[in-house]
Structure 1
Amino acid sequence: MRSWTVGTTPGGAHQGPMAVDAYELTGADGLRAVVWTYGATLAELWVPDGTGGSVNVVLGHPDLTAYLEPRNHYLGATLGRYSRNVGFGRFRLDGAEHLLDLNDRGHHMHGGVDGFSRRVWTARPEADGTALRLRLVSPDGDQGYPGELVAETVYRLVEHGIEFEHSATTSSPTIVDLTNHSYWNLAGTGTVDDHLLTIAATRVIEFDQRMVPSAGPPPPVAGGPLDFTSPRPLRGCTADRFFVLDGPQPAVELSHPGSGRTMRIRTTAPGIGVYTADRFPTGARSGICLQASALPDAPNRPDFPTVRLDPRAIYHSRTVHEFVLG
């Protein structure tokens, strides 16, 4: 496995200046991934184009300086401790209220201003060069979360695809949900307007504030503008929503008829966030984020799948992106 240093971070509240390394993973079927230790980030994913070449299908920044910018859109990063919104940054656990960092219009989003996407992870490549194991220790009280959390993210090239595997343990009861936040463009260039999207979800989360779910069960999507239960073109569709998955696999299918390339997503997560990048300051709609994760504000919603993690238990999630050509 080839590796190199891409730069050094200036340091922050939990880490001093640290070198950031890149690792190149190579699969047996022509897939190639580049993963950075900053944010445990998938910086590139090259898939075969059927003519002997390959195309990079994830968005990335050109250098470390761009990733260090306050608004880097989490391109390719691993999010944590909690990958979605926590309303007003507050939740109760065993009778105690915890206040998290408020980094998004009075709410807590994607782990806070100094979340896992802003840390340098330690990396350990596997011997065959197809997988990289990254580890991060988050101290008790980090961004307001209780308990010391030991998190691990594994990027693994599998047959015709890539697997994201996340796990964690804690020293005391806490909440956790880790996910990858890549933006996908199967054409490798331009916008995603000529892509087709299918989601195995008949319900969608409604929000009453910034990504804070409304009370009550998620409403159905049948026949409405968010009904992606059959393939729909993304042209003219603006999305920044969260879908509750029905369970059948694949959970999501994204296809690009012009190249004949299709991506199928299988996941253990209960839902998927979809964002068409309409508010990117440059390159609007240049990619689509398909974030498999826990439901928004789940720590405050007993009717949602739990995100609680206790000592001696292991948090685990797995998502696979499979690529088909033709």
Structure 2
Amino acid sequence: MKYLGIMALVLMVFGCAQKEASVGLSSEDFAFDNNGKTIELYTLKNDNGLVCQLTNFGARVVSLYAPDKNGELADVIVGYGSGKDFVEKPENFYGAVIGRYGNRIGGAAFSIDSVEYQLQKNDGANHLHGGTNGFHRQVWDAEQLSDTEVVFSLVSPDMESAYPGTVSVKVKYQLTAANELKIEYFATTDKKTVLNLTNHSYFNLKDGGRTSINDHVMYLNADYYTPVDGGLIPTGELAAVAGTPFDFTTPTAIGERVEADDEQLKVGGGYDHNWVLNTESDVSTLAAKVVDPESGRVLEVYTNEPGIQFYGGNFINGRTAGKEDIKYDFRSAFCLETQHFPDTPNKPEFPSVIVNPGDEYYSVCIYKFGVEE
């Protein structure tokens, strides 16, 4: 009996190890050549059992396994499951680092010191997310520092995508003991330029995108947002959220007012707007919080950025299969992109995005995971 007991214990431990090893996407599925550069997968794990996987194609988050209120791990990231899919399937910016400019620039142009820079028009008459060859489409250099840290590096040459200055960028991902995915952005330039880096991860805390996120409950620490015109370019106004469907200062289900008779919701097809955070760039102050009541999973967001773009998955259409052949339907995921405001290069009244030679650009976003009963 003693022998059987020991054998049972060994088998149980082995089984647990096998189960832990099976959590996550396959490295073999990400080994893919993209124009002579190899796409790879990197896995981070902390001592609490959280697992985060990233790829050097776009310096993307491709999975994050977080426990529910019963301790069951599940992937909360929506996206593709292989390097080939990320390269060849429709680009939705899943999990990517966005640059040089996260969000939209009106008229696809801006000026610095009276010199105009004409960008690619890849969103109607406007420029979106750095253009079709932005940072999200590039294979970054990568160095895994430890089980919990990886750094991606990229040099963007002068006038790449028509942006001035040679910009050197590093993005460090760290999975902390506090169950945080900490994303730090570092950059320098040799010429005066604009820069606005963000992460475009899509989340569904309940089931990884199998169902709607409209029952997720959200809090945004913001009294104002930036209304947009028909091209989703900010008008320059800071509008009060009080009394509107944009007021999430009291936790509210995402879908509770998304179909309200509101002009801004009609323009955006739902929520696709920038909120002006009350946090005053204090990374220790809560910027946003989302709770899935069914699973109990919680996502908190902290940042030193002045704004956060909440996108409610209005353009997800169910036509393209993602991980596990899931066809993500309308509003089956949300994004919370910490950032400076859209179209800031053309809005001098907004917080500046100018980076000068000698400046050390630094931005941080923390996605913290937890549970509530």
1:76-134 CA-to-partner distances (Å, cap 9, x unmatched) read 0000001121111111112211111211101111011100000000101113x101000
SS in 2 for 1:71: coil
Q: Aligned to 2:242, which of 201, 214, 222?
A: 222
Ranges in structure 1 where 5+ consecutive residues have no aligned partner = 12-16
In 2, the alpha carbon distance for the partners of 1:196 and 1:144 equals 40
Distance of aligned partners of 1:235 and 1:208 in 2 relative to their CA distance in 1, 3 Å threshold: closer
Residue in 2 that maps onto 1:243: 275
Residue in 2 that maps onto 1:14: none
Residue in 2 that maps onto 1:203: 224
In 1, the alpha carbon distance for the partners of 2:74 and 2:196 equals 30
In 1, the alpha carbon distance for the partners of 2:102 and 2:255 equals 28
More helix, by proportion: 2
1:217-275 CA-to-partner distances (Å, cap 9, x unmatched) read 31111011111111111225231111111117211010011112211111111111111
Residue in 1 that maps onto 2:344: 298
Q: Aligned to 1:276, which of 302, 312, 322?
A: 312
In 2, the alpha carbon distance for the partners of 1:52 and 1:86 equals 43
SS in 1 for 2:31: strand
Does residue 169 of the first structure (1) align with residue 180 of the second (2)? Answer: no
In 2, the alpha carbon distance for the partners of 1:267 and 1:206 equals 22
Letter in 2 for 1:58: I
Letter in 2 for 1:227: D
1:124-156 CA-to-partner distances (Å, cap 9, x unmatched) read 1113x1010000110001000001011111111
Query: What is the identity percentage for the equivalent residue pairs of Structure 1 and Structure 2?
Result: 32
SS in 2 for 1:65: helix
In 1, the alpha carbon distance for the partners of 2:27 and 2:296 equals 34
Once the two structures are TM-superposed, the CA of residue 52 in structure 1 deviates from its matched residue by: 4.5
Once the two structures are TM-superposed, the CA of residue 9 in structure 1 deviates from its matched residue by: 4.2
Contact (CA 8 Å) 1:59, 1:185: kept in 2 or not?
yes
Residue in 2 that maps onto 1:7: 31
CA-atom RMSD, angstroms? 1.8
1:161-184 CA-to-partner distances (Å, cap 9, x unmatched) read 211111111111111011100011
- TM-score between the two structures when normalised by the length of structure 2: 0.82
In 2, the alpha carbon distance for the partners of 1:257 and 1:70 equals 32
Once the two structures are TM-superposed, the CA of residue 37 in structure 1 deviates from its matched residue by: 0.4
Letter in 2 for 1:293: Q
In 1, the alpha carbon distance for the partners of 2:33 and 2:129 equals 20
1:186-213 CA-to-partner distances (Å, cap 9, x unmatched) read 1124221220011011111111241211
Q: Bigger radius of gyration, 1 or 2?
A: 2
SS in 1 for 2:369: strand
Written as runs of structure 1 = structure 2, the 5 A alignment for 1:97-112 is 97-112=116-131
SS in 2 for 1:104: coil
Distance of aligned partners of 1:110 and 1:263 in 2 relative to their CA distance in 1, 3 Å threshold: same
More strand, by proportion: 1
SS in 2 for 1:228: coil
Ranges in structure 2 where 5+ consecutive residues have no aligned partner = 1-23, 259-269, 319-328
Distance of aligned partners of 1:298 and 1:72 in 2 relative to their CA distance in 1, 3 Å threshold: same
In 1, the alpha carbon distance for the partners of 2:51 and 2:66 equals 7
In 1, the alpha carbon distance for the partners of 2:71 and 2:205 equals 17
Aligned residues: 319
In 2, the alpha carbon distance for the partners of 1:136 and 1:165 equals 14
